[in-house]
Structure 1
Amino acid sequence: MIRLDAATVLLQWATGGMLFCWYTTRHRVVGIGYGWLLRATYFCFAAGALAVGLAFDTNWIREASSLGVALACVVGLVVSVQRKDAGVSGQNAEFDRRSERVAAMTGIERTGRADEGADDAGGATDAASQSSSVAAEFPPILDLVPVLIGVMGLVAASLDAGGNAAVALLRTLVGAAFIGAISDGMLLGHWYLVQPGLPRRLLNEMVTALGWLWPLEVGALLLPTGMISVWTGAVDDGWGGLLGWMWGACAITTIILVFVTRAALKERYYSAVMAATGLLYLAILTGFGTDIVARAVLDQT
């Protein structure tokens, strides 16, 4: 009912990652480069899924889906680059708000984004700056296109796994969201180095989503035939039950790291964000252990 299949795992990663790309960019606050980073990254994962799927144990629906995800990521990236001059509305508004605050406190006028490119001699506004202020922004909804395409391939891979179709589908889709949330949380934490004024609530939202996904992921892997069968000995992991206990340690450590990360983000210092990012690094290791170890064991059933 679950397989350790590299093509499926890579497609899960790309699909879940793009889901949480949209989850963050929909606020129109994070810089445009963050979207470029994620779309390029998950294009590579989707292309990797296609290559592995064509080379080993091909499922044509899944492979077509992987191709569609890769193309959708490219389309989103191209559209975003074409509309880069419009910037991001929330980020632009925050820049102007802070500029006004500095001017009010110091009496020093700072040029807002709407006034950038003004001619020093005559005070005329640059035409390119004017056009960028009214240009259409990148629509975040485009980031959901690869998600929808990816889900179709994951459904096909789940049904191909055999056994209880509902359990296989639940494990595959929840696993995709779980892996995507952890990965994007870590990448978002690093983006604060690029955009220091980014509101902390964005990372808090990602960690909260991961906290809600954890019981779904663990619960799905406990459903019969699941990891409980490894503990009882009904399923032989080939290591005398060691992999079952390793899986349990990974699952428990992941949720502990989620709570510690949330606690770190309550601190006022900027270093708290970097500490949270480091904790999410560890959560990637334990989170992937939660998903991959279960696949390795249950793939034998």
Structure 2
Amino acid sequence: MKGRSAPAGSLPWHPAWSSPVRPKYITLILFVALLGVGSLAGGVLALSDGDYRGVILLLGSPFMLLLAVNGFAMRLRMRQRAAESVGFTESAASEERGVRLPYGAAVWSFYCLWPVMMIIFFGPFFVASLSNAATNPRDVETLIQLGVTGIATGYASCFVVDLFRRRLRCGMIVLSPVGVYHRSWSFDSFFPWESVLYVDAGEADGPLVELAIMPGRGSWYRRISKLWRQAELAFDPNMAVPGKWLSVDPALLYWALRYYHEHPEARGELAGPAGVQRLHCGAVLS
């Protein structure tokens, strides 16, 4: 099955999915980007006038711009994602060894950077509030500021710790001869092919790829980090993958799952390069 990679967006878009390029997303991304630029300009002007509050605007500007870039990568480029990121992953566990469809690098970078930026933003205010509370412990405004900045700094710090401990990781879907392995940000799960009833699609803040699962056939869920209770956990015992997080067109994942569910004789190729080549070519329509 040799050939060039299929053009991005060449596979049929499921009827249950709305268009990824929607006016509300474009408007929101532009608004956040302008807010980031405005914060940057406002911070520079405020500091030039000797107003220390300009520091707050300067610290908030990178977060706004990062949010806009992440929104562009997640929303507006969904159909332009090609299949080059699909590869083969080796693992001692058979359920994790197969054809890998990773989550997007831009989204993962955002989730790595935002807690660091929160610490940079809230940390100095937390230290200042702590110092003020020590000298004036009965000041209500100082105590409120101390509580808010303390919670934000503490949560972001715990998030960074979980990143270093690899409890929060970049997600991926692995299609193997024995089943489907899903590693999300804070949990992972596995679904043997014989437990899959059917492949479905839905809409939940963007395209959703779903597997309907028959319980008691070897499938499992494992929550790795308790800092983030993801919405997909509500689908247990079924599988749900938000298309906005993938590095590929979500249509590729949907049609690949359908193809291997309907063609058990082809699942053996998921143990080697033939499976990767099939997805690269987009040859997953029954």
Name the TM-score, length of structure 2 as normaliser: 0.28
Q: Greater strand percent: which structure?
A: 2
Q: Greater helix percent: which structure?
A: 1
Name the TM-score, length of structure 1 as normaliser: 0.27
